[in-house]
Structure 1
Amino acid sequence: MTRHRPGDLRNRVVDFLEEDREEARQESPEEAPRVRGASHALGESRKGPKRVYRLKNGLVSLNKTPTDLVPVVRNNSVSPLLQLPAEIRIQIWEHILGGMRILISTFTGAYFRPEYSDNPLHTRLTTDHLALLRVCRQIYNETATLTFSTNRFCFVGRSAFEEFLKSTKPAQRDALRRMVVDRPLMLFYIHPKNKRPRIVADPCEPFPNLKTIIIEHWSLEDREDRVAQLMKMVEDVGSARGLEVKMLP
């Protein structure tokens, strides 16, 4: 069996497409653009990926449709799914992407490895939930921030929280509505005696549209007066930002 290098095989495919294009010109004028588009796409791949333009909020800009994607957008417009009313489509996206507790942690080990789910209907977790956003431009436009607005984000430790801030886009942080932090993380930012450098004033500051914050892992061994003092500091932060504050043991 003859083996071809990837580059040789790609060139052979381009040659075949060129031959098909000539045949298409003779047989059907409508077929020529389709074949030419496929040949052009393979030719572009040799030059490397095209530049992706982003908005100031970090999301991909959809203001202008690239010429090579115009036929794709036209095909999407006749998709049965995308022809549904917008309200129904949003409900479908929220059902797929929302209603989860997303753990943000830098810890490793068997306990933190996302292999199994508590849900009896889903015995194994998948890592491609966000593949939906890559299906087409319209779906991306409707779902780009849904993961952040429809789920509860749980931060385990300060390093995980700060890495999350560094790796997310402004639009994603703006969309976050519910978050859970542990007591050490919250106290690191709000305790008046802590003089160590902090990247934000408090954990709520990076999320302007946050509605609910939950603080977990309050120690039952703390003195009653200390617990009351800590709770007062947390409530002050919440009331200053108009948040619903919940504290769980």
Structure 2
Amino acid sequence: MGSPELPARSAGPKDHTISSKRTKVVKKKGPTVRKPKQPGRRYMNGLMKAEIPARSELMKIAKANSIQSPLLNLPAEIRNKIWAYAVGYHQVDIHDYSCVRRWDIRLTHVTHPLTKGPNTSSSFVQPTFAVPKVCRQMYVESSAMVYSLNNFGFDNLDTCDRWILGRPLGQRRLIVSVDMPFGYYSLYKDGFRKLLRQTFPGIAKVNLHTKMAEMSQRIVTSTWFHTVPTREPLNDTKQRFVDQVKKKEGDGIEVDWYSGSANSLVYLHY
């Protein structure tokens, strides 16, 4: 008896290898639903959008405030004077609070009245600059005055740089007067800082510290037979600084001097 014959093997399906890559499922996006514009957003220059829809509840409140509020019902000329006295004509000195507390990195400010401003009375009250935060109308009418009617000073170079970086373009355009801190001028003169008109497009006045001129007085001799070296007159040194700034910025900027305390002499390099 012979060996049984084995059944013929059926041809199976081909061996398909499974790819290790996952198949990406693309979901069909639905129509884009845009959210309605809301008031309170900011422009690209950093300033807040104060417009509100004409038929919204906020517009009804704004109209009621302009009629019922004794303050907002005043003529615009009087309101502008009130805002100017409340937030303007101050010397705002920016300080680095982390110099006192190393774990608390933030900037603070000290305010006192300008010597050439109307707020020089003995009853001076420290401003909180909170007037623009009361309502939209007061923000529109007074927010620009915070920067355009005050002079800003800094305790050192780092504080100045940090404060500038924290200001959006819309605010920097409103600044018209600043005190240049120690150390800034040497970098500014050598081109390591932007022109003041580039940093503050609306700048009209810059104040230099008198120590800058006192430490930069050249040694000169008055006559050919006078061999004892003497310092050049301080007014000549100051004029040299003024000419350098106006050469870089143009004649449209006013250069003055201030003699506040120098908190950081480590930045003096002239």
Instruction: Tell me the amino acid that sits aligned with residue 135 of structure 2.
Output: C
Please tell me whether Structure 1 or Structure 2 has the larger radius of gyration of its CA atoms: 2
Shift in CA distance, 208/221, structure 1 to aligned 2, threshold 3 Å = closer
Greater share of residues in helix: 1
Give the equivalent residue in structure 2 for 1:218: 212
CA distance in 2, matches of 1:155, 1:235: 22
Where in structure 2 are there 5+ consecutive unaligned residues?
Answer: 1-37, 102-106, 114-120, 220-231, 260-270
Is 1:100 the equivalent of 2:90? yes
Residue in 1 aligned with 2:123? 121
**Secondary structure of the residue that 2:130 maps to in structure 1?**
helix
The superposition leaves residues 182-230 of structure 1 with CA deviations (integer Å, 9 ceiling, x where unpaired) of: 34212211126xxxxx4x4234421111111111132524332694755
Tell me, in whole angstroms, the C-alpha distance in 2 between the residues paired with 1:117 and 1:242.
27
| CA distance, structure 1, for counterparts of residue 180 and residue 64 of structure 2 | 44
User: Residues 82 and 105 (structure 1 numbering): CA distance in 2 closer, same or farther, change over 3 Å?
Assistant: same
Match in the other structure for 1:42: none
Corresponding letter in the other structure for 2:214: L
TM-score (norm 2): 0.59
Q: What is the one-letter code of the residue matched to 2:212?
A: W
Aligned counterparts of 2:71 and 2:155: Cα–Cα separation in 1: 38
2:49 to 61, 69, 74: 61
Q: CA distance change for structure 1 residues 109 and 121 in 2, over 3 Å: closer, same or farther?
A: farther
1:44 maps to what in 2?
none
Distance 1:75 1:242 in 2: 44
Structure 1 residue ranges without an equivalent (≥5): 1-49, 193-197
Matched, 1:245 2:247: no
The one-letter amino acid paired with 1:106 is D
Partner SS state of residue 171, structure 2:
helix
Q: What is the CA deviation profile of residues 19-46 of structure 1, one whole-angstrom value per residue up to 9, with x for unaligned ones?
A: xxxxxxxxxxxxxxxxxxxxxxxxxxxx
- Aligned residues with identical type, % of pairs: 22
User: 1:104 is matched by which residue type in structure 2?
Assistant: I
Corresponding residue for 1:83? 73
The correspondence for 1:201, drawn from 191, 194, 213, is 194
Sort the Cα spacing of 1:103 and 1:115 in 2 relative to 1 into closer, same or farther, 3 A.
closer
Report deviation, 1:125.
Answer: 3.8
C-alpha deviation, 1:168, in angstroms: 1.4
Distance 1:117 1:130 in 2: 13
Counterpart residue type for residue 93 of structure 2: L
CA distance in 2: counterparts of 1:116 and 1:157, whole angstroms: 17
Q: TM-score with structure 1 length normalisation?
A: 0.64
Distance 2:111 2:194 in 1: 36
Question: Do the aligned partners of residues 120 and 81 (structure 1) sit closer, same or farther apart at CA in structure 2, a change above 3 Å counting?
Answer: same
Q: Indicate conservation of the 8 Å contact 1:145/1:171, yes or no.
A: no
Write the letter of the residue equivalent to 1:56: M
Query: Following TM superposition, by how much is the alpha carbon of 1:102 offset from its aligned partner in structure 2, in angstroms?
Result: 0.4
Larger deviation, residues 223-232 vs 205-214? 223-232
Matched residues, number: 189
Separation in 1 of the partners of 2:218 and 2:57? Answer: 66
Match of 1:52 in 2: 40
Q: What displacement does 1:171 show?
A: 1.8
Work out the CA distance in 2 between the residues paired with 1:224 and 1:166: 35
Mean alpha-carbon deviation: is it higher for 131-140 or for 162-171? 162-171
